[in-house]
Structure 1
């Protein structure tokens, strides 16, 4: 790890620099290996600011280009972070590939990531080699009985654990992560969500354990009740409770008091966020990541004029290609046979091998993730096919076509769904 890096320039870990040093979060890791009862990873919610929210998923090979664009307009950026929208270590290959690319061009930049800790231990050495200086581990309980009330499931490899067993495995990995990080000189922050009636009475113990492990700072984050989650109807903790907990825990470990509950695509100073300004750039790079090798757009449509079919229900796709300054439909292809599990979507990726974008009315999380692994972006949208395809091929901002309707998140079996 480079000793030349000035760690004081991380605004989340140092309140004194939060008004002069900025951060950019790169949303390259959509998948997650646990399901928290307060979390709904909703990718397209422009007006909402909380962890797990982003306007688009950025391919690792576009990370440097995106950072270049950000730094042109906001040169005060000192930190590159990866905070999801899932868990960076659940998508370790993408996360590490992103940091490798950024590090090659911007070696003096501070690098950080935020993780639940489940898959973190096996990657600590490589992260330190790449110059990661700051890591946040979200640890909401140090008692598996309490943790079991917070997590629906925990997935290790292909095995899904629930209840106390899942919470115990997660806690063991979190404790190991902090030990390993501190042994290698990484600055560690422990995030703890304050959930009234669940863990608010227990957070002093979390602070004690974190301090004993050598963690540098704790961030107590008030629960933000989120629709379509088990904790949707649970009240947000009062300001008085947060103040009391910070005062108590502050006797054990330094407390962060300036958290902004950043989005997974946050950009700018903590006090002056510019995320919305960079959404068009993020979407352009996300959607246009592979137009040379994949020159076409696939469309799910009932009658051939509008984007109006669900990805999992369409019997086939129109294939559109650029034509001059417009677009035209060149052929139709049958969809993969209806089935369950990721194999169906891997087969569809083969069918749409020359398409960089799929336009659908709606789609599940699993097919979006699987197709994304093949370099194919799935966009939920509505409108005239010709208009959307033309704008896409011309490099225009197509985010205005995105579907803004509310959708429920998945808190199911932990195996992914279509």
Structure 2
């Protein structure tokens, strides 16, 4: 099934390609919540933690709208404005909808996005359509009320606090009806599910099957965050999060013709910037409120955003041309490539990378399939560890990859990569990831099976 949709081309959460290029802002206007989750502990004045439900401060709608406009004037790559908390947006409907109404009027080129537990969707779906909310994320962790009772101790429903299985039954029924109505109204739906070992891990493939059948566009299976210092019920009672292997296994069980989100950063409710570069510190409220936004400035900002989108569209057109070209010889098998990148372009020194984006490239296209965390071997120019002991854990983390693309790489890691059967390549600094990966794939096909190019043009 072709699950491409043009409205995701600049949405960083719905598109694994867009998340390197386009930015989003989350506006923290919704402090209240209508359910309690065992994995959640909302914080309204926290600057240090990076997880959902956390913000530095809650904003009034007028403050939030001005902040979005200021960010949109400073970042031409801004494409999406969302409300994701710190509570549930539809538990504070007046604040949330007032924010969206003003944004729809003042920044009509920006996509509007909402993230909700789904309990209040049916009550407000007409308003979501009225203010042009085009993308909604629903958090659906289960379809079984017994499992739900182990995740949600209570919900607020029609002015009463409901507990246990009854609460879970109401929530699940409202989520499923909300999902159906959103899709029927033409809103693109992403479903988030928190993977909780021993609670819903074996159940999530059933969830994925049901939401896929109902028309959800993408499924995001997120690992439980359960560190005790966050103060959640699960964290304080010893419930562990999944291992990377467990997460990968559940994602594999949920895969099929359902698009999976594998690049989620489990963002704060006041995040700003691309998914891999948080810039909220640049837009503190005092700075935002000191700025004057004139009609001329806002119009110029819209023009810069349009120009940025046009540039990305042109690059994507070039990529499609590359994809349509066919190699002269060699097997058309998929190849895994590890990439160091910044803002969607090949960037960075191999030894200074703390993570690698993993792409699968074949004749049909390029897909991001994972993210591998590593320790840095370099801690600055004067402290670059190039011993085998330092580098081997990084190379082990790249197991299965045939190519590493970076902007710079030293001689020692180059030798170790080649010895491990991985081709280092620093020939494409600054190029878009898709273009660089496709060019390397074509080169490997032209050279034929069993041959590798290990040219290093920028040895540092």
> With structure 1 as the length reference, what TM-score do the two structures score?
0.65
Give 1:263-412 correspondences, 5 Å limit: 263-281=268-286
Cα distance in 1 between the residues matched to 2:281 and 2:263:
21
- Which structure has the larger Rg over C-alpha atoms? 2
Distance 1:6 1:252, change over 3 A: closer
The match for 1:28 is 29
Q: 1:239 aligns with which of 235, 244, 259?
A: 244
Asked whether the 8 Å contact 1:87–1:115 carries over to 2, the reply is yes
The match for 1:253 is 258
Deviations 1:288-337 (A, max 9, x none): xxxxxxxxxxxxxxxxxxxxxxxxxxxxxxxxxxxxxxxxxxxxxxxxxx
1:225 equivalent to 2:226? Answer yes
The match for 1:103 is 104
Q: Name the count of aligned residue pairs.
A: 282
Cα distance in 2 between the residues matched to 1:22 and 1:69:
13
The match for 1:381 is none
- Name stretches of at least 5 consecutive residues in structure 2 with no aligned partner: 1-5, 291-460
Deviations 1:227-264 (A, max 9, x none): 33220121110000111111110125211000010100
Asked whether the 8 Å contact 2:36–2:155 carries over to 1, the reply is yes
Cα distance in 2 between the residues matched to 1:109 and 1:266:
16
- Name stretches of at least 5 consecutive residues in structure 1 with no aligned partner: 286-418
Cα distance in 2 between the residues matched to 1:7 and 1:239:
27
The match for 2:206 is 205
Cα distance in 1 between the residues matched to 2:91 and 2:121:
8
The match for 1:394 is none
The match for 2:184 is 183
Asked whether the 8 Å contact 1:56–1:282 carries over to 2, the reply is no
Q: Secondary structure at the match of 1:86?
A: coil
Give the superposition deviation at 1:108: 1.7
> With structure 2 as the length reference, what TM-score do the two structures score?
0.59
Cα distance in 1 between the residues matched to 2:215 and 2:194:
20
Cα distance in 2 between the residues matched to 1:228 and 1:65:
32
Identify the structure with the greater helix proportion.
2
Cα distance in 1 between the residues matched to 2:23 and 2:185:
25
Asked whether the 8 Å contact 2:70–2:288 carries over to 1, the reply is no
Distance 1:60 1:144, change over 3 A: same
Asked whether the 8 Å contact 1:66–1:282 carries over to 2, the reply is no
Cα distance in 1 between the residues matched to 2:61 and 2:28:
9
The match for 2:449 is none
Cα distance in 1 between the residues matched to 2:74 and 2:278:
13
1:56 equivalent to 2:61? Answer no
Give the superposition deviation at 1:36: 0.2
Q: Secondary structure at the match of 2:44?
A: coil
Give the superposition deviation at 1:272: 1.3
The match for 2:14 is 13
1:123 equivalent to 2:124? Answer yes
Distance 1:108 1:71, change over 3 A: closer
Give the superposition deviation at 1:283: 8.7
